[in-house]
Every structure is written in structure tokens, then in C-alpha cells.
């Protein structure tokens, strides 16, 4: 069924299809519309779920942990400062190997006080053990949530998944999308270590030096295994619903001499820039990174690379650019742009490509014209 809705409404529609047993929610701009819509589904009987309106984001994740450890499918959503407030519980969720799915509407962190798009909120959680996917359209937001449940709950993974969509640029933008009936695409959840009242035991107890590192390695092993599960799930999704996705989405890269790498809506804007540059005779292409954890292997050899980061790690640089350099030895032209909702157009991106300086970092709007 084709409909028109915002990214937030699409996420809520996908949650309804996934039918979690428990949804714990606390509102925060620009995510609030997601949990409001889910509440309406529960109130109307369209979604049979226990909806828990908690007093904080920390409590929202704690409630999801408590429900998930019993073997229940769970969902929550947040943004920015709310994700920071969850931080302690975000680590507990991954460490407990719980397949919680969370939508994070990417928003800048204060101070200064800002409610517009930036990726730093989610990227600060990159080492927590959560899988992270960044979407670039309303349709992709819907599809990514469905796949997130299937991936997280696969017994080869059993790690939580964060679905990221850019605040306002996607969360509040209306686009046409197809509502897919999940059917049996998401199998019933079986949590091997679910709490069993008939066989009581300790959970999350003190772990000494002789065992703690083994738990860390087990998360890493599953994170590595998740790459194969993601590919399998995306292929199964394509067979079921006809829409194909990859770890990264390539656009006109076959003969490209220069490739723009970005995430989220900037990755989609880069595709328009590529068409503009091609018209000028510049053989450009783009790669929109979808899965940031696990980090994909991208074939960038022999090409110039322009990376646009809507984030920054102080004292280090753009996190996506640094990750690509570490993973593949690339010397990208690192562009920091779009922080706090700063407008970045396809014409701006084309300018980054025309005046690229490999190995250098450029702050759009700070360093002067490129």
C-alpha cells in the first residue's frame, strides 16, 4: 500500500508491523511524533503492545532491558540529549546481549541549544556494542526498522540495533512510501538466555578479570558475524518486498575518478551533486554509508575520496573520514559540514569535489570558500 508520511510516521508504521510486546517511550524533539503515533496505534487496538510512558530516557531503556531479558520483543525511540541520558543503559543493553531496536532521530548536542540535524549523538555511542544504520529516505526508514528486528533477533547476533534518521530533514519531511506487511519476515523471537522463573539464576553479576574480557570478545564476535546476517536479511528483504539495500549504496561509481562518501540525507544530496559534476565532465560517484557498525569495507582504491562528516570528534577529526582512513588507508579530503542543521546543498558538495585537497580537513563555513 502506497502512502505519504513523514520519516517519523514511517518508523511508527514499521513498528506496528513488527508488533513488539513492549514499547517504552519518553518524548523529545524531533522524535516525539514516533512514540505519539505508536501510542495511537496501541490506544486504537491496531498494535497489541504494552506501552510504558516513563519519566525519562534512562528509564525508557531500562524498561526495554527489563522486558527484553524475559524474551519479549521491545522498541524505543529517542534523540540527542535523550540518547546521552540513556548512555549507561545503552551499554547495559549491548552487554546483556538484548535485541532491542531503537530509532534515533539525529540531532545536535548542546550547548549551544540546537534541535537540528547532526550525527554526533549516535556516533558517540559507536563503541557501545550497538549496530547502527543510517537511512536516507522515508521508505528506507520504514524498511530499516523491519530489518533491524530481524537482524537484532538472529541468534548469531543478539545485539541491539539503532536506526538513525536525520532530524527534520527526514523525520518531518513527507515522502511517498510503501507500507509492507511484515508477515513472517520477522520470525518469532527466541532469546536463549531469557530469564526463566523455573530456573532462577544471577544476571549481570560482578564479573572478574578472568572472565570479563571473554564477554567483550563475544560482543565483537557477534558484531563481526552481524555483517553476514545483515547481507542475508537484505537479500531476503529484496526477494520478499522488491527493494534492495547494501552495507553502502553506490551511485555512478563504476568509472568514477572521485567518490563522495557521506551518511544519511547528505549521502542522497551527494547523488544530485554527482549528476551535476558528470555534466561538467568530472567523473564523480558517491557512496552513502548505511551501516556504520559494523563498519563496511568500501572499495575506494585508485580514486580520490571526499568525505562529508555531519559530526566531529574533537582533537581527532571527522569520524567517518577517520574510519575510512583507518580501514582502507585512504587519504580523503575531509569536509566537516551540516553540523547543527547547517544547510549543505548539492552545489556545495559539487564545490567540495572540484576544489578537493586530499589529506586535508576543511570546515564548511569556517575556512572560507573551497
In a domain, 154, yes or no: yes
Contact 185, 146 (CB under 8 A): yes
Tell me what the mean pLDDT of segment 170-175 comes to.
98
Residues 278 and 131 in one domain: no
- Report the CATH number at residue 60: 3.40.50.970
- Report the CATH number at residue 332: 3.40.50.920
Pairing of β 248-251 and β 291-293? unpaired
In a domain, 201, yes or no: no
150: preceding bond cis by omega (within 30 degrees): no
Residues 8 and 26 in one domain: yes
Residues 178 and 277 in one domain: no
Residues 227 and 266 in one domain: no
Tell me what the mean pLDDT of segment 35-50 comes to.
98
Residues 56 and 78 in one domain: yes
Number of neighbouring beta carbons within 10 Å of residue 148: 27
Contact 15, 23 (CB under 8 A): yes
Lowest-confidence region among 17-31, 161-175, 321-335, 348-362: 321-335
- Give the whole-angstrom CA distance, residue 187 versus residue 264: 28
Residues 235 and 253 in one domain: no
What was the pLDDT predicted at 120?
98
198: preceding bond cis by omega (within 30 degrees): no
Domain count, the chain: 2
- In terms of residue numbers, what domain contains 55? 2-192+206-241
Is residue 42 classed exposed, middle or buried when 0-12, 13-18 and 19+ CB atoms within 10 A define those classes? middle
In a domain, 368, yes or no: no
**Contact partners, residue 123, CB within 8 Å, separation at least 6:** 292, 311, 313, 319
Residues 171 and 232 in one domain: yes
* Confidence label for 329 from pLDDT (cuts 50, 70 and 90): low
Residues 158 and 48 in one domain: yes
Q: Which of 92, 46, 75, 45 is nearest to 186 (CA)?
A: 75
In a domain, 156, yes or no: yes
In a domain, 132, yes or no: yes
In a domain, 296, yes or no: yes
With vertex at residue 281, the alpha carbon angle to CA 278 and CA 282, rounded to the nearest 5 degrees, is: 70
Tell me what the mean pLDDT of segment 54-81 comes to.
98
Over its C-alpha atoms, the chain yields an Rg (Å, rounded) of 20
What was the pLDDT predicted at 328?
78
Pairing of β 131-134 and β 161-166? parallel
Tell me what the mean pLDDT of segment 247-254 comes to.
98
Amino acid at each position: 500500500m502506497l502512502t505519504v508520511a513523514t520519516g517519523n510516521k514511517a518508523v511508527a508504521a514499521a513498528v506496528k508491523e513488527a508488533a513488539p510486546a513492549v514499547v517504552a517511550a519518553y518524548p523529545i524533539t524531533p522524535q516525539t511524533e514516533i512514540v505519539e503515533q505508536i501510542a495511537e496505534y496501541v490506544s486504537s487496538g491496531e498494535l497489541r503492545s504494552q506501552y510504558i510512558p516513563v519519566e525519562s530516557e534512562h528509564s525508557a531503556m531500562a524498561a526495554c532491558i527489563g522486558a527484553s531479558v524475559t524474551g519479549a520483543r521491545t522498541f524505543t525511540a529517542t534523540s540527542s540529549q535523550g540518547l546521552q541520558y540513556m548512555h549507561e543503559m545503552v551499554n547495559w543493553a549491548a552487554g546483556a546481549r538484548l535485541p532491542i531496536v531503537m530509532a534515533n532521530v539525529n540531532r545536535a548536542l548542546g550547548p549551544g541549544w540546537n534541535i537540528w540535524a547532526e550525527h554526533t549523538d549516535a556516533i558517540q555511542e559507536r563503541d557501545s556494542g550497538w549496530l547502527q544504520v543510517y537511512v536516507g529516505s522515508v521508505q528506507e526508514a520504514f524498511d530499516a526498522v523491519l530489518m533491524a528486528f530481524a537482524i537484532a533477533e538472529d541468534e548469531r547476533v543478539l545485539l541491539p540495533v539503532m536506526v538513525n534518521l536525520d532530524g527534520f530533514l527526514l523525520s518531518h519531511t513527507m515522502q511517498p512510501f510503501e507500507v509492507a506487511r511484515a508477515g513472517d519476515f520477522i520470525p518469532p523471537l527466541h532469546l536463549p538466555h531469557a530469564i526463566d522463573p523455573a530456573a532462577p539464576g544471577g544476571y549481570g553479576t560482578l564479573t572478574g578479570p578472568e572472565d570479563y574480557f571473554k564477554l567483550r570478545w563475544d560482543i565483537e564476535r557477534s558484531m563481526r558475524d552481524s555483517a553476514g546476517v545483515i547481507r542475508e536479511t537484505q537479500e531476503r528483504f529484496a526477494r520478499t518486498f522488491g527493494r534492495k539495500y547494501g552495507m553502502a549504496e553506490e551511485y555512478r561509481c563504476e568509472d568514477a575518478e572521485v567518490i563522495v562518501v557521506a551518511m544519511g540525507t547528505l549521502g542522497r544530496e551527494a547523488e544530485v551533486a554527482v549528476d551535476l559534476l558528470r555534466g561538467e565532465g568530472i567523473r564523480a560517484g558517491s557512496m552513502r554509508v548505511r551501516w556504520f557498525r559494523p563498519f563496511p569495507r568500501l572499495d575506494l582504491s585508485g580514486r580520490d575520496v571526499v568525505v562529508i562528516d555531519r559530526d566531529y570528534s574533537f582533537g581527532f577529526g571527522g569520524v567517518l573520514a577517520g574510519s575510512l582512513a583507518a580501514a582502507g588507508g585512504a587519504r580523503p579530503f575531509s569536509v566537516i559540514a551540516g553540523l547543527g542543521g547547517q544547510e549543505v546543498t548539492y552545489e556545495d558538495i559539487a564545490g567540495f569535489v572540484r576544489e578537493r585537497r586530499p589529506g586535508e580537513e576543511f570546515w564548511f563555513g569556517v575556512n572560507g570558500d573551497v
